[in-house]
Protein backbone atom coordinates (compact mmCIF):
# COMPACT_ATOMS: atom_id res chain seq x y z
CA UNK A 1 0.00 0.00 0.00
CA UNK A 2 1.50 3.29 -1.05
CA UNK A 3 1.85 6.45 1.03
CA UNK A 4 -0.79 8.38 -0.96
CA UNK A 5 -3.25 5.54 -0.45
CA UNK A 6 -2.79 5.71 3.32
CA UNK A 7 -3.28 9.49 3.18
CA UNK A 8 -6.43 9.03 1.13
CA UNK A 9 -7.73 6.42 3.54
CA UNK A 10 -7.21 8.88 6.40
CA UNK A 11 -8.93 11.67 4.49
CA UNK A 12 -11.85 9.44 3.55
CA UNK A 13 -12.22 8.41 7.17
CA UNK A 14 -12.29 12.10 8.15
CA UNK A 15 -15.20 12.66 5.79
CA UNK A 16 -17.54 10.29 7.61
CA UNK A 17 -20.70 11.92 8.91
CA UNK A 18 -19.56 11.37 12.49
CA UNK A 19 -16.52 13.59 11.91
CA UNK A 20 -18.00 16.17 9.59
CA UNK A 21 -20.01 17.97 12.25
CA UNK A 22 -17.02 18.63 14.56
CA UNK A 23 -15.01 19.68 11.50
CA UNK A 24 -17.75 22.13 10.48
CA UNK A 25 -17.89 23.54 14.01
CA UNK A 26 -14.14 24.05 14.10
CA UNK A 27 -14.26 25.65 10.67
CA UNK A 28 -16.95 28.03 11.97
CA UNK A 29 -15.05 29.29 15.04
CA UNK A 30 -13.05 31.98 13.21
CA UNK A 31 -15.96 33.27 11.08
CA UNK A 32 -18.31 33.22 14.09
CA UNK A 33 -15.81 35.27 16.08
CA UNK A 34 -15.53 37.71 13.19
CA UNK A 35 -19.30 38.14 12.94
CA UNK A 36 -19.60 38.74 16.67
CA UNK A 37 -16.67 41.16 16.77
CA UNK A 38 -18.09 43.20 13.90
CA UNK A 39 -21.54 43.15 15.48
CA UNK A 40 -20.07 44.46 18.72
CA UNK A 41 -18.38 47.37 17.03
CA UNK A 42 -14.81 46.32 16.34
CA UNK A 43 -13.15 47.70 13.21
CA UNK A 44 -12.65 45.13 10.43
CA UNK A 45 -8.90 45.00 11.07
CA UNK A 46 -9.44 44.46 14.79
CA UNK A 47 -12.16 41.89 14.15
CA UNK A 48 -9.92 40.00 11.73
CA UNK A 49 -6.91 40.12 14.05
CA UNK A 50 -8.95 39.00 17.03
CA UNK A 51 -10.75 36.24 15.16
CA UNK A 52 -7.64 34.84 13.53
CA UNK A 53 -5.54 34.97 16.67
CA UNK A 54 -8.10 33.85 19.25
CA UNK A 55 -10.42 31.74 17.12
CA UNK A 56 -8.04 30.10 14.68
CA UNK A 57 -4.40 30.19 15.83
CA UNK A 58 -5.21 29.70 19.52
CA UNK A 59 -8.48 27.85 18.93
CA UNK A 60 -9.34 25.65 16.00
CA UNK A 61 -5.74 25.08 14.87
CA UNK A 62 -4.76 23.71 18.26
CA UNK A 63 -7.95 21.70 18.71
CA UNK A 64 -7.62 20.19 15.24
CA UNK A 65 -4.01 19.18 15.72
CA UNK A 66 -4.78 17.68 19.14
CA UNK A 67 -7.71 15.70 17.73
CA UNK A 68 -6.05 14.52 14.53
CA UNK A 69 -2.31 14.30 15.11
CA UNK A 70 -2.75 13.38 18.76
CA UNK A 71 -4.82 10.40 17.71
CA UNK A 72 -2.55 8.98 15.00
CA UNK A 73 -1.35 6.10 17.15
CA UNK A 74 -3.51 6.43 20.25
CA UNK A 75 -6.81 6.07 18.42
CA UNK A 76 -5.62 2.77 16.97
CA UNK A 77 -4.40 1.57 20.36
CA UNK A 78 -7.48 2.58 22.34
CA UNK A 79 -9.78 1.53 19.48
CA UNK A 80 -7.91 -1.82 19.51
CA UNK A 81 -7.46 -1.78 15.75
CA UNK A 82 -3.68 -1.48 15.98
CA UNK A 83 -3.27 -5.26 15.51
CA UNK A 84 -4.74 -5.03 12.01
CA UNK A 85 -2.22 -2.38 10.99
CA UNK A 86 0.90 -3.76 12.57
CA UNK A 87 0.56 -7.25 11.10
CA UNK A 88 0.33 -6.05 7.48
CA UNK A 89 3.23 -5.86 5.06
CA UNK A 90 3.23 -2.08 5.21
CA UNK A 91 6.34 -0.52 6.78
CA UNK A 92 5.52 1.20 10.02
CA UNK A 93 7.15 4.47 8.95
CA UNK A 94 4.84 4.55 5.96
CA UNK A 95 1.77 3.99 8.11
CA UNK A 96 2.82 6.72 10.50
CA UNK A 97 3.77 9.27 7.86
CA UNK A 98 0.67 8.52 5.81
CA UNK A 99 -1.58 9.16 8.77
CA UNK A 100 0.45 12.22 9.76
CA UNK A 101 0.16 13.73 6.29
CA UNK A 102 -3.57 13.00 6.40
CA UNK A 103 -3.87 14.71 9.78
CA UNK A 104 -1.92 17.74 8.57
CA UNK A 105 -4.02 17.94 5.40
CA UNK A 106 -7.32 17.93 7.32
CA UNK A 107 -6.00 20.50 9.79
CA UNK A 108 -4.67 22.75 7.05
CA UNK A 109 -7.84 22.54 4.96
CA UNK A 110 -10.11 23.43 7.85
CA UNK A 111 -7.82 26.14 9.25
CA UNK A 112 -7.25 27.78 5.90
CA UNK A 113 -10.94 27.59 5.03
CA UNK A 114 -11.75 29.19 8.35
CA UNK A 115 -9.16 31.93 7.81
CA UNK A 116 -10.41 32.74 4.31
CA UNK A 117 -14.02 32.92 5.49
CA UNK A 118 -12.98 35.13 8.40
CA UNK A 119 -11.15 37.49 6.06
CA UNK A 120 -14.15 37.68 3.71
CA UNK A 121 -16.49 38.42 6.64
CA UNK A 122 -14.22 41.15 7.95
CA UNK A 123 -13.06 42.79 4.74
CA UNK A 124 -15.60 41.76 2.13
CA UNK A 125 -14.09 41.87 -1.33
CA UNK A 126 -11.19 44.07 -0.23
CA UNK A 127 -9.26 41.41 1.58
CA UNK A 128 -5.61 42.49 1.93
CA UNK A 129 -4.09 39.75 -0.19
CA UNK A 130 -0.60 39.94 1.28
CA UNK A 131 -1.82 39.66 4.82
CA UNK A 132 -4.12 36.74 3.99
CA UNK A 133 -1.35 34.98 2.09
CA UNK A 134 0.97 35.44 5.05
CA UNK A 135 -1.62 34.10 7.51
CA UNK A 136 -2.39 31.08 5.34
CA UNK A 137 1.30 30.27 5.07
CA UNK A 138 1.89 30.63 8.81
CA UNK A 139 -1.23 28.62 9.63
CA UNK A 140 0.10 25.83 7.43
CA UNK A 141 3.43 26.00 9.22
CA UNK A 142 1.64 25.94 12.56
CA UNK A 143 -0.44 22.93 11.52
CA UNK A 144 2.69 21.05 10.45
CA UNK A 145 4.66 21.87 13.59
CA UNK A 146 1.90 21.19 16.11
CA UNK A 147 0.92 18.02 14.25
CA UNK A 148 4.48 16.74 14.51
CA UNK A 149 4.67 17.50 18.21
CA UNK A 150 1.31 15.92 19.01
CA UNK A 151 2.00 12.95 16.75
CA UNK A 152 5.15 12.37 18.79
CA UNK A 153 3.04 12.55 21.96
CA UNK A 154 0.74 10.01 20.38
CA UNK A 155 3.55 7.46 20.22
CA UNK A 156 4.49 8.10 23.84
CA UNK A 157 1.25 8.29 25.78
CA UNK A 158 -2.12 6.59 26.00
CA UNK A 159 -3.78 9.95 26.61
CA UNK A 160 -1.74 12.38 24.53
CA UNK A 161 -4.69 14.74 24.21
CA UNK A 162 -4.54 15.71 27.88
CA UNK A 163 -0.83 16.49 27.68
CA UNK A 164 -1.35 18.26 24.35
CA UNK A 165 -4.23 20.32 25.75
CA UNK A 166 -2.17 21.40 28.74
CA UNK A 167 0.72 22.25 26.41
CA UNK A 168 -1.42 24.09 23.89
CA UNK A 169 -3.72 26.01 26.18
CA UNK A 170 -1.55 26.54 29.23
CA UNK A 171 2.10 26.40 28.34
CA UNK A 172 1.73 28.19 25.03
CA UNK A 173 -0.05 31.17 26.58
CA UNK A 174 1.64 31.19 29.99
CA UNK A 175 5.16 31.12 28.64
CA UNK A 176 4.54 34.41 26.81
CA UNK A 177 4.38 36.17 30.19
CA UNK A 178 7.68 34.81 31.42
CA UNK A 179 10.45 37.40 31.22
CA UNK A 180 13.48 36.97 29.00
CA UNK A 181 13.89 34.49 26.18
CA UNK A 182 11.81 31.81 27.85
CA UNK A 183 9.00 32.51 25.41
CA UNK A 184 11.16 30.98 22.70
CA UNK A 185 10.12 27.63 24.13
CA UNK A 186 6.65 28.19 22.75
CA UNK A 187 5.65 27.38 19.17
CA UNK A 188 2.99 30.09 19.24
CA UNK A 189 5.69 32.73 19.83
CA UNK A 190 7.18 31.99 16.42
CA UNK A 191 3.80 31.87 14.73
CA UNK A 192 2.84 35.20 16.28
CA UNK A 193 6.16 36.66 15.25
CA UNK A 194 5.62 35.58 11.65
CA UNK A 195 1.99 36.60 11.63
CA UNK A 196 1.44 39.34 14.22
CA UNK A 197 -2.15 40.19 15.19
CA UNK A 198 -3.40 42.80 17.60
CA UNK A 199 -4.48 41.29 20.94
CA UNK A 200 -8.04 42.38 21.65
CA UNK A 201 -7.99 41.08 25.21
CA UNK A 202 -4.89 42.95 26.34
CA UNK A 203 -6.73 46.04 27.53
CA UNK A 204 -8.36 44.21 30.44
CA UNK A 205 -5.51 41.87 31.30
CA UNK A 206 -4.09 41.92 34.81
CA UNK A 207 -0.82 40.89 33.23
CA UNK A 208 -0.59 44.03 31.14
CA UNK A 209 1.96 45.72 33.45
CA UNK A 210 4.12 42.59 33.33
CA UNK A 211 3.98 42.55 29.57
CA UNK A 212 4.88 46.20 29.42
CA UNK A 213 7.75 45.68 31.84
CA UNK A 214 9.21 42.80 29.89
CA UNK A 215 9.03 43.97 26.31
CA UNK A 216 10.35 41.08 24.30
CA UNK A 217 12.92 41.55 21.60
CA UNK A 218 11.55 40.46 18.23
CA UNK A 219 12.78 37.24 16.69
CA UNK A 220 13.77 37.56 13.04
CA UNK A 221 11.61 35.63 10.55
CA UNK A 222 14.42 33.36 9.39
CA UNK A 223 15.00 32.19 12.95
CA UNK A 224 11.27 31.55 13.28
CA UNK A 225 11.09 29.46 10.11
CA UNK A 226 14.25 27.56 10.99
CA UNK A 227 13.02 26.82 14.49
CA UNK A 228 9.66 25.57 13.26
CA UNK A 229 11.37 23.42 10.61
CA UNK A 230 13.83 21.92 13.06
CA UNK A 231 11.10 21.26 15.62
CA UNK A 232 8.97 19.54 12.99
CA UNK A 233 11.80 17.44 11.66
CA UNK A 234 13.13 16.38 15.05
CA UNK A 235 9.64 15.50 16.36
CA UNK A 236 8.83 13.51 13.26
CA UNK A 237 12.12 11.60 13.21
CA UNK A 238 11.76 10.67 16.89
CA UNK A 239 8.09 9.74 16.42
CA UNK A 240 8.83 7.54 13.40
CA UNK A 241 11.73 5.91 15.21
CA UNK A 242 9.54 5.14 18.22
CA UNK A 243 6.64 3.90 16.14
CA UNK A 244 8.94 1.68 14.10
CA UNK A 245 10.55 -0.01 17.05
CA UNK A 246 8.10 0.06 19.95
CA UNK A 247 5.38 -2.41 20.82
CA UNK A 248 1.81 -1.16 20.58
CA UNK A 249 -0.83 -3.44 21.96
CA UNK A 250 -4.57 -2.89 22.17
CA UNK A 251 -5.14 -0.70 25.22
CA UNK A 252 -6.42 -3.11 27.86
CA UNK A 253 -3.91 -5.83 27.05
CA UNK A 254 -0.78 -3.87 27.67
CA UNK A 255 -1.39 -3.51 31.38
Partner 1 sequence: MIELERASRWYGQVIGVNDVSVSIGPGITGLLGENGAGKSTLIKLITGQLKPTTGAVRVFGENPFANTEVFRRLGYCPETDSFYESMTCEEFLRLMVRMAGIPKSEVASITERNLSRVGMLEHRRRKLAACSKGMRQRIKIAQAIAHEPELLILDEPMNGLDPLGRKEMGDLLSELGQDRTIIVSSHILYEVEALTRRILLLHRGRLLAYGDVRQIRDLIDRHPHKVLVETTDRGRELATKLIELASVLSVRIEEDGKRLIVETAKPDEFYTNLAQTVLAHQIPVRTFYSQDNNLEAVFRYLVKG
Partner 2 sequence: MSAVPGPPPIADLTYRNYDGPKALRPLRWWTITRSFIRTALRKKPFWVIFALSAMQWMMFALLVFINSQAQMLAEQAGAEPPRNVRLFDIVDTFANISDIWIWTFALALYVGAGAIAADNRANAIQVYLSKPITRSDYILGKWAGMAILIYAAQFVPMLFAMLYAALDAGFAEFMREHSRLLLDVLVVPAFAAVVHASLLIGISAMNKTPAIAGIIYTGIFIVWSALCQALAAAPAIAENARPTIQFLNPRGVISGLTFNFVGSRGTGPRFRELPLPDWGPLLALGLVLCVVGLALAIWRVRAVEVVKG
Q: Which residues bind partner 2 (CB under 8 A)?
A: 22, 26, 29, 33, 36-37, 39-42, 50, 54-55, 58-60, 63, 66-67, 70-71, 74-75, 78-79, 159, 161-162, 165-166, 169-170, 200-201, 203-204, 206, 208-209
Q: Is 249 in the site for partner 1 (CB under 8 A)?
A: yes
- The counts of H helices and E strands in the chain are 13, 0
Q: Is 8 in the site for partner 1 (CB under 8 A)?
A: no
Among 28, 32, 86, 117, which residue sits at the site for partner 1 (rule: CB under 8 A)? 86
Candidate segments 73-81, 99-107, 150-158, 220-228, binder of partner 1 by CB under 8 A: 73-81
Q: Which does 226 bind (CB under 5 to 8 A by kind): partner 1, partner 2, none?
A: none
Give the total residue count for the chain: 255
Contact 102, 10 (CB under 8 A): yes
Of 127, 118, 115, 131, residue with least CA distance to 35: 118
Of 225, 194, 201, 103, residue with least CA distance to 152: 103
Number of residues located near partner 1, criterion CB under 8 A: 28
Contact 188, 227 (CB under 8 A): no
Give Cα separations from 226 to 69, 183, 197, 232 (angstroms). 22, 16, 21, 10
Contact residues: partner 1, CB under 8 A: 1, 5, 9, 13, 16, 18, 79-81, 83-92, 244-245, 247-250, 253-255
Amino acid sequence: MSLPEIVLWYLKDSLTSRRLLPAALLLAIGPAFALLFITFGFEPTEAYDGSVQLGIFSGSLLLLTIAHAGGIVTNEVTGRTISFLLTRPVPRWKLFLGKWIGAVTVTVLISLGSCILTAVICYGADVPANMLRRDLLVLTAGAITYSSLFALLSTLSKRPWIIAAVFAFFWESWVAYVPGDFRRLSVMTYLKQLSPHADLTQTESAFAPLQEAFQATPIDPMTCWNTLAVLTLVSLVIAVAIFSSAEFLPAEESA
